[in-house]
Amino acid sequence: MSTSPTERSYRALFAVPSIRRILVTMQIARIAQAMVGVAIVLFTLIEFRSPELAGLVTFTSIAPGLLVSPIAGALLDRHGRVRLVILGYFVAMGALVLIGVLALSDALAPPLLVAITAVSSLTGIFSVTGLRSLFPLIVPKHLWERSSALDSNGYVVATILGPPVAAALVGIVGGPVTLIAIGLAYGAAAVAMIGIPDPRTDAASTGRLLLDAWRGVVYAWGNRTIRGLGFSVSVLNLYAGMQAIVIPLIVLERLALPAWVVGLLFALSGVTGMASAFLFGRLDTRGREWSMLVVPMVVTSPAVALMFVAADPGVGVAVAVAVLAISLAVTGFLNGPLDISLFTVRMRRTDPAWMGRAFAVSMAFNFSGYPIGAAVAGPLAAASIEAAIAVGVIACLVAAVLAARMIPRQESPATATGTVG
């Protein structure tokens, strides 16, 4: 297949060597990741009847990996991405199968569950960061919007398929068997990744791992765009972490509905997000990134506030479900322009020699709000679901203010390269 060197179509993107296989592998893993997000919460709520533990497990399954992200980024830059992505998938498989087997054997205590999820998260950052940092290295710049749209839609497709399948499996075969099945999906992704060539890069390395990791942190902090994204998106993700705990609580406890309803609600946000990502992925985002970040954050706040209505015990079940559906549909749609502008502006304003470390630090910083939001929402929602929702509403507004003030509207040399001392 031959295409023009400046053609901006998806056909041109699919002509990039290895891109099809990478996208398929990424999709398998992301569906598994989306399933875990729902399955681990439902498993913990059903197995241990504890919102607090559900929030803690969600936190430990993510946070330790975020803390070691600078080291992970340095390893990605020095030793290649593909082999470390494969390692992350195999460790995830082992952890989930272990949890499932221990639960079936009645040998899984809460401290052990927390410990296993914490250990597995340490290598999870390899797969998440490694795949995303591959795109700007193998995809031509004029196709970055298209690759960002597919990247965003990879999460969206996972959101459509993962949660309802996970919730249905938990209801049919139980949480332990569901976790084992998800682990096997990670194993399949690892096998599919074997043999994909690693792109050659000229990484800025000192030859010392910890120093390289520290320099990656300094570079990311000195890059105004990465720093601004980190503060704003991490605060925004507080609402996402809250939502991961509050939606199952409302559906299972307040409305007394089966687990599959949780999956369908999260899938709805994926459907609207997919439509939005394809719509905005056709745009040239240059000069529009700032507004495509700030405006969705502002509008997300009232959409999240709709959850107050669904949480009201005086509201009927049908109305509550309809309101939750509207809230998730709107927030899902708003994720489209936000994700595309975030992914693309970060690629444009990061030096290729720092892709692994900068992306690892940036993605960890951005996503840090999710496990914190889940950890806070667990005990908070156990006392008051409304208080947990209020945290999410406020987080969206604060995130919009931070984005508006901290993210440069236009790229400049200092913004693009950062500084390293």
- Would you state the pLDDT for residue 363? 83
pLDDT band at residue 233 using 50, 70 and 90 as cut-offs: very high
How large a percentage of the chain has pLDDT more than 90? 41
- Would you state the pLDDT for residue 19? 84
- Would you state the pLDDT for residue 202? 59
The half-sphere exposure of 253 on its side-chain side, counting CA atoms within 13 A, is: 18
Mean of pLDDT over the chain: 85
- Would you state the pLDDT for residue 22? 85
Confidence check: pLDDT of 13 > 90? no
The answer to whether the Cα torsion of 69, 72, 77, 81 is positive or negative is negative
- Would you state the pLDDT for residue 8? 66
Per-residue pLDDT of 251-298, as tens digits, reads 988 899 988 899 889 888 888 887 887 777 666 767 788 888 999 999
379-to-108, 238, 240, 359 alpha-carbon distances in Å: 22, 15, 16, 32
Name the token pair of 332: 């899902």
Confidence check: pLDDT of 94 > 80? yes
- Would you state the pLDDT for residue 206? 62
Per-residue pLDDT of 190-224, as tens digits, reads 998 888 887 766 555 566 778 888 888 898 899 99
DSSP state of 42: H
For the residues of 266-330, what is the DSSP string, one character each? Answer: HHHHHHHHHHHHHHHHTS--TTTHHHHHHHHHHHHHHHHHTHHHHH-TTS-HHHHHHHHHHHHHH
Confidence check: pLDDT of 46 > 60? yes
Per-residue pLDDT of 344-399, as tens digits, reads 888 888 887 777 778 878 888 898 899 999 999 989 998 899 999 999 999 999 99
Domain 17-196+205-417 CATH class label? mainly alpha
Rg of the chain in Å (alpha carbons): 20
pLDDT band at residue 230 using 50, 70 and 90 as cut-offs: very high
**Which one is predicted more confidently, 154 or 214?**
214
Confidence check: pLDDT of 335 > 80? yes
Give CA–CA dist 31/36, Å, rounded: 9
Give CA–CA dist 370/244, Å, rounded: 9
Rounded to an integer, the average pLDDT of 32-43 is: 91
**Which one is predicted more confidently, 411 or 367?**
367
Do the Cβ atoms of 408 and 224 come closer than 8 Å?
yes
Amino acid in position 204: A
Name the token pair of 272: 């609207």
Name the token pair of 111: 């401290």
Rounded to an integer, the average pLDDT of 85-103 is: 95
Rounded to an integer, the average pLDDT of 126-146 is: 76
